[in-house]
Chain A
Amino acid sequence: MPLGIKIAWSFLGVLVAIAYGLVIAGIIRKVMARIQGRIGPPVWQQFIDLGKVIFQRTATRHGWMFYLAPIFRAGGGIGLYLLIPVVIGVPALSNFSFNGDLLLVMYFIFFGSLGMALGAADSGHPHSPIGISRGLSQMTAYELPFALAMVALAAQVHSFSIHDIIMAQQGGILHWNLFANPLAAIAAFIAFLGMNMYAPFNIVGAPQEIPVGPPTEYNSIFLSLMMSGRAILAVAKIVLYMDLFLGGAHSILAAFVKTIIIYFWSVFVGAVFPRFRTEQAVRFFLGWPTVAGIAGVLLVLIR
């Protein structure tokens, strides 16, 4: 496929992914509201919010790092999405995943977070570094079970290539890593809760305490980029999990279904549990989820 067409497809894919990310965020707000006995906003509320911030009449900025950070944030989300194959067998939807393996994806996740953290901190608002401190602390903690799960998967197929990992899961639902290595899957899916920062791991943004956390000072067009970045980052992560544990997707429909299921795992947990303090969250991830991850690696070693 010529590069130009590929870029065009990818561009389209990014737009769809952002829209999809906004929709599921809307669904979540609705679901949460219903669980709490409210009517809740409409599903497309996120689009309204996005439109609002884009067309705000005034915008304020702090230093130049503050100015550039939304680019890093959105770029990090989009880039990550572009490194993950969405639908196998469809070159248009496999993005640019042949430029790097799972390790690149794992590390590119940090790109956006780092940029956002730098910009937010440049605002000079104390809530931003407090939120970042919490977020980074939590991130390192869920990284351990997550890394163990990734190591288990890679050792299983003897490759870090996402494509190879997907291919190894073909031939029936029981070949999915979710069932082929349930221990690694448990570790990874618990880590996923931390990654998404819903309750019980939502102290990073901590509504009521440090309003919205790191991006406190962002407004207008900056915030719109942040929101888009966040939306596509969420999509990229669930697509990654789908590829790693649910055998990837052969069609767009299958991708929708699988990713929604993955996402709602964290939504439902979030709806039920209260919030962990940072040190509690850290200890939690380094406890049983890590044990599950170690067991997952051992499982590979024993086989």
Chain B
Amino acid sequence: MVNPILLIGVPLAVAFLLPLVDMLGRRTARAVHLLTLAFELFVAGEWLVQFLHGAAAVNIITGGWAPPIGINLRLGPLEAALVCLAALTGIGSALYLAHHEEVGSLRGLVIQLLLVTGAIGLIMTRDVFNTFVFLEISGIGTYSIVIFGKERSALEAGFKYIALGGAASTFFLLGVAFLYKITGTLNLDDMIHKLPMAVVAGTGTVLLLLMVGIMSELKLFPLNGPAIDLYDGVEPGVMALIVGTTVNALFFVFWKISALYTGPAWAAMFASVGMTTFLVCNVLAIRQTRVRRMLGYSSSAQIGLLVFLVPFVKSGEVALSAIALLLVNHTFAKAGLLWLAGTHGGEKIKEWKGAFSDSLALRIALATFVLAMTGLPPFPGFWGKWQALVGLAQHGHGWWIGAVLVGSLFEFVYYFGWLKEALTPAETVPRGAVGSPLSEVFGSLLYAGLAIALGAKVLMQVWGGFKTPAIFLGAAGFVLLFIRALPERFKAALTLVAVAWVAWGVFAGARACPLWDIRGFFLVMVLFGAFVISVAGLGIPAERGSFWGLFLILVGSIIGILYSSSLLGFFAGWELMTWSSYLLVSQGRHGPKAGYLYMLFAAAAGLLVLGGMMVAESAGVTTLAALVSLSGGVALAAWGLLAVGFAVKVASWGAHIWAPGAYAESPDLFTPFLSGVISKIPIFGLAAVVARIAAPSVATAISSISVAHILGWVGGLTAFGMTLLAVFQEDMKKLLAYSSVGQVGYVVLAMALLTPLGWTAALYYAVNHFLFKGLLFLAIAGVIYRTGVRTFADTGGLIKRMPLSFIAVLIGIIALAGVPPLSGFAGKWLLYEALMDKGWLFLTAFMMLASVMAFLYCFRLIHSIFLGQLKDKDRNVREAPWPLLLAELLMVIPILALSVRPQLLIEPLQHLVTGVFGVPGVRFASAATMTTHFGYFNAAAMMALVVVLFLVLLFILLTVGPKPTKVKQLDIVYAAEVPPSPEELQYAWAFYRPYERAFAPLLKARVTAFWHGVVDVVEGVAEAGRRFYTGNAQTYVLYSVLFILVLAAFGLAR
């Protein structure tokens, strides 16, 4: 093994020798520089491998003197990992900066090495004064590299940074000096040992001074003003280097020195300062308009989170790996984002429209970093955050968890706001990676790859290997992302094969009918839905090259949810589903904006679910099955958080404003899946997660009002409200979007009944909605594909051109409206019988009203597209492509089968609900007749009656009377005039205006106004906070003084 002392020695020596080497040429100097960093990486990496195999940390004694007199260094697993990160970032930045005129010069190279060396010294040293020395080395490195910037802002930022850095060093040195006086040693380990024994007045103040020094180096709130300016002013490649070296090293210094701070008061102080930084900086980042400033706030926030966790790790409450994962995650993502920011060059967020649209790899890297920064799976930050929260939960720190979750939500707001811009296609030529050399983007790609690889490794530990369907599909999707050359239809075929392969593997092996198990039930729906979408994809090519890759990842994530038995596995799948569906929604024409809103609500839903799971974890529950054991207040809290989270995700009334946009603007090929399948996954959550928590005990917890009853009304209100809004839509996809949300409201309501009949109704309805809404969205996709329009005013009379699509829509709306003899009626029947059986009489009548109101939009949909007058422009429109029709047929067949025999589904459902409740909900009086406590229904006889009547009447029509002559389109009895154009005769705009007048008081956009209010408040706070950072160095110094005072007061109060 190489002696670790060389980790410091070699780069230091090279830094001094580099001017000599430079005489041989700049290329040689660069090569030596890179080689040095590679050497660091190799040595530290080799040691890291040793440590991971159980080797003990090594102490290196320098100068021949044993500590405490001599200075000793230490290399343990943490140190080795941090050195690796520093070296890696150093390599990435060196390559990135190679073409940079100033920083890439000889001086620049030396200073880069100096930064790395300083950081490694800070990481390895165990001597307090030596720490100060390396602090200064890093400081000098930073100062000199900062003033390379030619811009005034960079110089100003640099000066402020120096001013505050100097102050910080002074505090630190003062602290060190006094500590030496108190303990008589400068060796950290010695000091840790001796400090508790020294009873000297003022020790607390001394420690406070030291800590203020470290905290202002760490750029915690409110001492981060200059650092933020630095992010904005300095070349981003340099900033990335600083993030990967100095910032990490400083955090590690804090970690080491915090061992001196024992006792709950210090722990509380660290946690408070860290959390305040996390929250405040995340809020302030929201209003930033400049990319790198925003990243600066984010860095402060992330360091704040790490500082917050330190006391909990020290006390053993939170696993060390949580901090490690978060730190690695932050280094990867932040350095990567800074490099990308530099490559792109857009300073304002608005300038990022269409970023990297010419480079797939960079687009993926950007998305990866944003997802990693916001703590989404499978990236390391997700696992880190989960571990941290679990630790906090198990030790009863509920409020801290709440704070972490709130802060995380703000992170989503600004990071996805940025991503929204990047995903929005540019109107002009997009800026970005055009012609940027590989060396410049090497670091970003490397870190994106590492984040993905590391994340995938953990995910596979949680979910299993490549043989599990979820991982297989996810991996297949990931590969498909990179295949650009293939035509989209071929990719659809590949998707089809992958899905079919998985389905074969799942169902061929299943001995029992998979419908007997609730997971199997949803699994069938997901795989069938994915299959149908891939079939449709053979007909309509996806507009973006990443569609099918993301789609497979999405399907894999949903299967991951269904297969998971642990809370972690479930939640990982949940968040994977969230972001993959978000990216798919964003592919639509106006998708990014709609997707952003979708993401925010989905993120909020995710955090609520996470909160609920943490409540469960606090009671020691880690698996879904163990949720049953919850009781009392814990059960109620978990139930409430999870139920609200799932309710937000199904866009229940109040949280519904994301849904119309997301459904309407997502790619036409994806909408059927979004509406048919993804909207059912929260229902699975309700069934598999929420319902496991003993609902009766929850219900009695609030004595008079049943919680389930509230959920029922939420579902009912959603069904009614969304149906009402659907009636007035002028856009076909928006209409179906509102309808989808409303229909899922029925399912939520039926789930909330918590009776066997109610669950039968809910699950039957869910399947039925999946079928008919998928069918409708597919058929509409065909119409949009052929006509290119989406508003009702632009279509009409298409029955003449697209009769098969018309029939598909007709079957869809009859099933939706619940008109016999199609399958929808059984759903309505089950729902009303279940509601009456439970005694929720008003909800029954209310739902009858909502169901009838659905007729309005059903007719609107079919009339305005297919009936009435065919427009001249549409005279040559062709029928939808045959694969799309085939996909529609795949949906129609089960609808017709269920229409004749709803038992095909209801019978297996009885096994399922019997498994949950012990009794079936529906009984079968005969082979064809279903009965409940309230009524009976024979679908086959009903169908027979309709068919016979139809045939008899058709016979009459064909035989009696004269043979009808077909007349031309405009030959109608119309006020003695022959109207010249179809447009004049099409009644399509504001179809239900009188109805709108009647309901005017209900139609004010109150919910939207409420959310606008929320946004205004948050933005107002962020705006006010922004003024806090004046950019004036004097104010910054004032803040540090005030900070000391606050901390001192904090200490005194303790």
Q: Is the pairing of A and B real?
A: yes
Min CB distance B627 to A, Å, is 35
Contact B867 A79 (CB under 8 A): no
B962 interfacial by beta-carbon distance below 8 Å: yes
Contact B829 A144 (CB under 8 A): no
Min CB distance A70 to B, Å, is 7
A56-B961, A111-B820 are contacts. A158–B934 as well, Cβ < 8 Å? yes
Which residue of the partner chain, among B799, B856, B859, B992, contacts A65 with CB atoms under 8 Å?
Answer: B799
Interface string of A185-224 (1 = CB under 8 A from B): 0000000000000000000000000000000110011101
Q: What is the bound-complex CA distance between A145 and B818, given in angstroms?
A: 20
B 846-862 contacts with A by CB, 8 A = 848-849, 852-853, 855-856, 859, 862
Contact A143 B942 (CB under 8 A): no
B400 interfacial by beta-carbon distance below 8 Å: no
Contact B936 A107 (CB under 8 A): no
Contacts of B935 in A (CB 8 A): 100-103, 159-161
Which residue of the partner chain, among B973, B988, B992, B994, contacts A217 with CB atoms under 8 Å?
Answer: B973
Min CB distance A273 to B, Å, is 19
Contact A110 B817 (CB under 8 A): yes
Contacts of B966 in A (CB 8 A): 60-62
Q: What is the bound-complex CA distance between A193 and B185, given in angstroms?
A: 98
Contacts of A63 in B (CB 8 A): 799-800
Contact A125 B819 (CB under 8 A): no
Which residue of the partner chain, among A129, A139, A293, contacts B863 with CB atoms under 8 Å?
Answer: A129
Q: What is the bound-complex CA distance between A143 and B960, given in angstroms?
A: 37
A282-B998, A283-B998 are contacts. A160–B961 as well, Cβ < 8 Å? no
Contact A134 B994 (CB under 8 A): yes
Q: What is the bound-complex CA distance between A20 and B810, given in angstroms?
A: 33
Contact B859 A297 (CB under 8 A): no
Contacts of B998 in A (CB 8 A): 137, 141, 278-280, 282-283, 286
A301 interfacial by beta-carbon distance below 8 Å: yes
Secondary structure call for the B interface: helix
Contact A282 B995 (CB under 8 A): yes
Min CB distance A133 to B, Å, is 6
Contacts of B941 in A (CB 8 A): 96, 99
Contact B972 A123 (CB under 8 A): yes
Q: What is the bound-complex CA distance between A118 and B806, given in angstroms?
A: 11
Min CB distance B966 to A, Å, is 6
Q: What is the bound-complex CA distance between A269 and B861, given in angstroms?
A: 35
Interface stretch (choices A40-48, A147-155, A238-246, A259-267): A147-155
Contacts of B844 in A (CB 8 A): 147, 151
Contacts of A297 in B (CB 8 A): 841-842, 845
Min CB distance B649 to A, Å, is 29
Give chain B's interface residue range (CB within 8 Å of chain A). Answer: 35 or more
Residue of A nearest to B830 (CB): A103
Interface stretch (choices B422-430, B872-880, B943-951): B943-951
Q: What is the bound-complex CA distance between A143 and B848, given in angstroms?
A: 8
Min CB distance B977 to A, Å, is 12
Interface string of A69-104 (1 = CB under 8 A from B): 011101100110010000000000000101111111
Contacts of B1045 in A (CB 8 A): none
Contact B972 A217 (CB under 8 A): yes
A70-B957, A71-B950, A293-B845 are contacts. A136–B855 as well, Cβ < 8 Å? yes
Give chain A's interface residue range (CB within 8 Å of chain B). Answer: 35 or more
A75-B946, A75-B953 are contacts. A137–B856 as well, Cβ < 8 Å? yes
Contact A107 B960 (CB under 8 A): no
Min CB distance A121 to B, Å, is 4
A57 interfacial by beta-carbon distance below 8 Å: yes
Contact A57 B848 (CB under 8 A): no
Min CB distance B874 to A, Å, is 13
Contact B963 A59 (CB under 8 A): yes
A300 interfacial by beta-carbon distance below 8 Å: yes
Contact A143 B962 (CB under 8 A): no
Contact A125 B972 (CB under 8 A): yes
Which residue of the partner chain, among B803, B832, B933, B970, contacts A158 with CB atoms under 8 Å?
Answer: B933
Contact A140 B852 (CB under 8 A): yes
Which residue of the partner chain, among B800, B818, B832, B974, contacts A125 with CB atoms under 8 Å?
Answer: B974
A140-B855, A154-B836, A158-B933 are contacts. A61–B949 as well, Cβ < 8 Å? no
Q: What is the bound-complex CA distance between A275 and B758, given in angstroms?
A: 42
A107-B828, A136-B855, A139-B855 are contacts. A148–B960 as well, Cβ < 8 Å? no
Counting chain A CB atoms within 10 Å of each CB, the highest count among B844, B868, B945, B971 belongs to B945
Contacts of B957 in A (CB 8 A): 67, 70-71, 221-222, 225
B937 interfacial by beta-carbon distance below 8 Å: yes
Contact A121 B949 (CB under 8 A): no
A124 interfacial by beta-carbon distance below 8 Å: yes
Contacts of B797 in A (CB 8 A): 124
Contacts of A144 in B (CB 8 A): 845, 848-849
B997 interfacial by beta-carbon distance below 8 Å: yes
Min CB distance B979 to A, Å, is 9
B965 interfacial by beta-carbon distance below 8 Å: yes
Q: What is the bound-complex CA distance between A286 and B18, given in angstroms?
A: 87
Which residue of the partner chain, among A108, A220, A277, contacts B994 with CB atoms under 8 Å?
Answer: A277
Contact A137 B992 (CB under 8 A): yes
Contacts of A123 in B (CB 8 A): 972
Q: What is the bound-complex CA distance between A151 and B868, given in angstroms?
A: 38
A32 interfacial by beta-carbon distance below 8 Å: no
Q: What is the bound-complex CA distance between A225 and B954, given in angstroms?
A: 10
Contacts of A70 in B (CB 8 A): 953, 957
A 255-303 contacts with B by CB, 8 A = 277-280, 282-283, 286, 293-294, 297, 300-301
Q: What is the bound-complex CA distance between A160 and B830, given in angstroms?
A: 12
Min CB distance B839 to A, Å, is 8
B3 interfacial by beta-carbon distance below 8 Å: no
B502 interfacial by beta-carbon distance below 8 Å: no
B223 interfacial by beta-carbon distance below 8 Å: no
Contact B859 A136 (CB under 8 A): yes
B 353-367 contacts with A by CB, 8 A = none
Contact B942 A100 (CB under 8 A): yes
Interface string of B969-1000 (1 = CB under 8 A from A): 11111100000001001111001101101110
Q: What are 30 residue pairs bridging A and B, where the CB atoms are less than 8 Å apart in the complex?
A: A54-B961, A59-B963, A61-B967, A63-B799, A71-B953, A99-B942, A101-B934, A102-B935, A110-B852, A114-B859, A117-B859, A122-B799, A124-B867, A124-B982, A125-B985, A129-B991, A136-B855, A137-B992, A144-B848, A154-B934, A160-B833, A161-B935, A220-B964, A221-B960, A221-B964, A225-B953, A278-B998, A286-B998, A294-B842, A297-B841
A: which residues have CB within 8 A of B? 54-65, 67-68, 70-72, 74-75, 78-79, 82, 96, 98-104, 106-108, 110-111, 114, 117-118, 121-126, 129-130, 132-134, 136-137, 139-141, 143-144, 147-148, 150-152, 154-155, 158-161, 216-217, 220-222, 224-225, 277-280, 282-283, 286, 293-294, 297, 300-301
- Apart from A60-B967, A100-B938, A140-B852, what are 11 other A-B pairs with CB-CB below 8 Å? A65-B799, A67-B964, A99-B942, A102-B935, A107-B819, A126-B974, A216-B972, A220-B964, A225-B957, A277-B994, A278-B994
In the A-B complex, the 5 residue pairs with the closest CB atoms? A221-B961, A101-B935, A160-B935, A278-B994, A147-B848
